[in-house]
Amino acid sequence: MRLLRGVVACRGGIMSVDEARRFERDLTNNSELLAKIKSIVSSLASFVEAGKAHGYNFTLADAKQLVRDKVPRHQLSDEQLDAIAAGHGIGGSGGIGGLGGGISGSPNIVVSGIVVSG
Amino acid sequence: MTRSVAARHYRRIFASRSPEQRRALAHVKRFVERMLGDPAFRLALGDNLDSARRAAERYGIDVDPAEMLPLWHSQYQCHRHKPEGAQWPLAVLWDDYMAEMLRHREVMREEGDMADVHPRFHIWRQRQMRRCASELGSSAAWITHPIIAFELSDGCTVGCWFCGVAADRFRGHYAYSDQNARLWRDVVGVARDLFGPAARTGFCYWATDPIDNPDYDKFLFDYYDITGALPQTPTAAPLKDLALTRRVLALFDKYRTISNRFSVLSVRQLDAIHAAFTAEELLGVELIMQQKDSPVPKADAGRARLVRQRLQERGKDDGKEARWIENTTIACVSGFLVNLLRGRIQLITPVAESGRWPLGYRILGERFFATVEEFRAGLEGLIDQHMRAGLAPDQPVRFRRDLAYEPGERAFSLVGRRVRHTVQDDATSVPVGPLIARGTKTAFDVLAAMGGGDMLVAADLLDQLFDAGLLEEDFDDRFAGAHNEGLALARRDHGAVAPRHRDPSAHNYAWDTPA
């Protein structure tokens, strides 16, 4: 029934982020589904695959958007990750990610500028 | 064949300057080389302009030191890169030129991007770049992460005591025979087909000296012909085969893509290089001063690492000298190291030197080939096996071994030698950091510890940590440690370092002669 509802919802035009949200909600409420998922997931991409296998139609971008909606400070942009790659975090007091980022980098001699409550 | 973006950028650096400016730059460069590499020249400069002008003239340097005081006079250095510095036009000319050369380094790094051509390799290389920035700190900015390097010899005849990759004893070169040339061109063609413009970041040396291969310039031209980029040529023996060196410089003049590089091992060698080539001929050649008293520090890797350890053991290095940069590397490739003579492909990436990786690069895997089909299969096999897009499901999730985990309030810190990362960890009811810090749990285990509502958030954090290069990927011990013959040779006889190239003016270390 759940599978059918998922497909119908997609056909009905419900946004994929909503599908991701529905998948997450069902994981919370359906211990049988949770048990199945736990044995096969290791990354966000694997959640997308697992979701598809159980009739939830959403993409990796949708899953990331869901996480971003839930935890705004958790997402690093590609630019921020690239800044880590380019070593731009060195010497700054704010570190990579700054106040809004999840992961910061700064030299040992500089106290990391990321503010957990920021 | 499309034109290389990096090559265009590099050529513009020269084309945008007048012949007079290029000539002036060549002589400023020679002045700087003398400053860095010749104590007698530094002494001769003295404190006043008359003595400086006489010294420059005596060394055949045809620019007026008075026009570049901020470059060399301690009392004027404070004006460098400042508006008032405009009154010393040669200093401004030099600094602008160097700034563009530094920018070229960034362009070279960008030329290795493969987001469209080979996303899997691209993502892996990006992750290695992030890891290097975290692991190596500011020195990582010097690494351009070329995607492929070819060795056209086996070992090296020079045997520099400070060789960061501890080159093996020379065993021979890969001759440009009809058969070899065909395989070579096919192999470079495969690299171009698979990796697109990123193949232009490749070069033709590693633990070898290009000049040890008398056919080197033929291989070099082929590389240009196939990829559109003429690789960099560095050598510590530019005078060994002067005709070959001149052929290489002629290729540079014709197709210039990137500066070449001569390592200078002694003042006497600097004299000989300056005598053999005019200042103008060397404008496109960086001279790296590797003499004992040079201000250029050595990466503490390979044989240099061994030398420093022996110095410390014998109480001759208190660790305060600036000659060493510890926990760094001279390795630059995040991709493939190919030896044509051995028919071997290794997948490598730079790491901080350590007992585990004493040569400053990690070897992830290895394949052998005799045909171009095997070469292609070798590349693809290494990519399939080692370039993971995400965490391996069957391996523990751990923080990198060089990072110390520090729990904190709603966050945790990962403290490396040079960089501290702080990670927010308050979005799940069960914090993720402590689970990873145990070092025994797989990604499955970590996610299984979460409630259903937290699993996606936790998976996203794992992904971010992985993408940032903060999670350990180095689980394979097969290639770890010193398997390199060059290092083993240096360790022999109580750690004696016995360079095959010895210059009378070079510093004599006590252990040069085995006890």
Q: Which of A84, A99, A106, A116 to mutate to test the interface with B (most CBs of B within 10 A)?
A: A84
Rounded to an integer, what distance in angstroms lies between the CA atom of residue B428 and that of residue B434?
Answer: 12
pLDDT at A116 over 90: no
Q: Which residues neighbour B15 within 8 Å (Cβ) at sequence distance 6 or greater?
A: none
Which residues of A are less than 8 Å from B138 in CB distance? 87, 90-91
The verdict on a CB contact (< 8 Å) between B453 and A25 is yes
pLDDT at A108 over 90: no
Cα dihedral B299, B262, B126, B345 sign: negative
Tell me what pLDDT residue A76 has. Answer: 57
Tell me what pLDDT residue B509 has. Answer: 26
Q: How many CA atoms lie within 13 A of B245 on its CB side?
A: 20
The verdict on a CB contact (< 8 Å) between A112 and B419 is no
Which residues of A are less than 8 Å from B413 in CB distance? 112
Q: Which of A17, A43, A65, A66 to mutate to test the interface with B (most CBs of B within 10 A)?
A: A43
Q: Å from B417 to nearest chain A CA?
A: 7
pLDDT tens for B448-490 read 888 778 999 999 999 999 999 999 999 888 888 855 666 666 6
Averages of pLDDT over each 10 residues, chain B, 515 residues: 81 96 97 93 87 94 95 92 95 96 91 95 96 91 94 93 87 97 98 97 96 98 96 96 97 92 94 97 94 77 80 67 73 96 96 90 96 98 93 88 94 91 91 96 90 88 94 91 64 44 31 26
pLDDT tens for B268-321 read 999 999 999 999 999 999 999 988 777 777 787 888 888 777 777 777 665 545
Rounded to an integer, what distance in angstroms lies between the CA atom of residue B278 and that of residue B266?
Answer: 19
The verdict on a CB contact (< 8 Å) between B133 and A67 is no
CB B159, CB B79: distance < 8 Å: no
Q: What is the mean pLDDT of residues A96-110?
A: 32
Q: Å from B176 to nearest chain A CA?
A: 38
Chain B 126-185, CB below 8 Å of chain A: which residues? 126, 129-130, 133-134, 137-138, 140-141
Rounded to an integer, what distance in angstroms lies between the CA atom of residue B69 and that of residue B483?
Answer: 49
CB B125, CB B334: distance < 8 Å: yes
Rounded to an integer, what distance in angstroms lies between the CA atom of residue B510 and that of residue B508?
Answer: 6
Tell me what pLDDT residue A4 has. Answer: 36
Q: Which residues neighbour B18 within 8 Å (Cβ) at sequence distance 6 or greater?
A: none
Which residues of A are less than 8 Å from B125 in CB distance? none
pLDDT tens for A19-73 read 999 999 998 888 899 888 887 888 999 999 999 999 999 999 999 999 988 887 5
At residue B99, what is the residue type? A
Q: Å from B124 to nearest chain A CA?
A: 12
The verdict on a CB contact (< 8 Å) between A74 and B427 is yes
CB B325, CB B71: distance < 8 Å: no
Top pLDDT among B306 and A83 is at B306
Which residues of B are less than 8 Å from A107 in CB distance? 137, 418-420
Which residues of B are less than 8 Å from A32 in CB distance? none
State the fold for domain B137-388: TIM Barrel (3.20.20)
Instruction: Catalogue the E-assigned strands of chain A.
Output: 103-107
Question: CA distances (Å), A118 to each of A101, B28, B40, B266, B426, in order?
Answer: 10, 50, 57, 55, 13
The verdict on a CB contact (< 8 Å) between B415 and A85 is no
Q: Which pTM does this prediction carry?
A: 0.85
Confidence of residue A103 (pLDDT cuts 50, 70, 90): very low
The verdict on a CB contact (< 8 Å) between A34 and B427 is no
SS3 for A3? helix
Rounded to an integer, what distance in angstroms lies between the CA atom of residue A45 and that of residue A59?
Answer: 8
Buried b (16+ CB within 10 A) or exposed e, B473-507: bbeeeebeebebebbebbbeeebbbebebeeeebe
SS3 for B421? strand
Query: What are the residue boundaries of the structural domains of chain B, listed by start?
Result: 19-107, 137-388, 404-467
CB B485, CB B169: distance < 8 Å: yes
| ipTM of the shown complex | 0.71
SS3 for A53? helix
DSSP class of residue B2 equals: P
Confidence of residue A80 (pLDDT cuts 50, 70, 90): low
Rounded to an integer, what distance in angstroms lies between the CA atom of residue B223 and that of residue B252?
Answer: 13
pLDDT at A16 over 60: yes
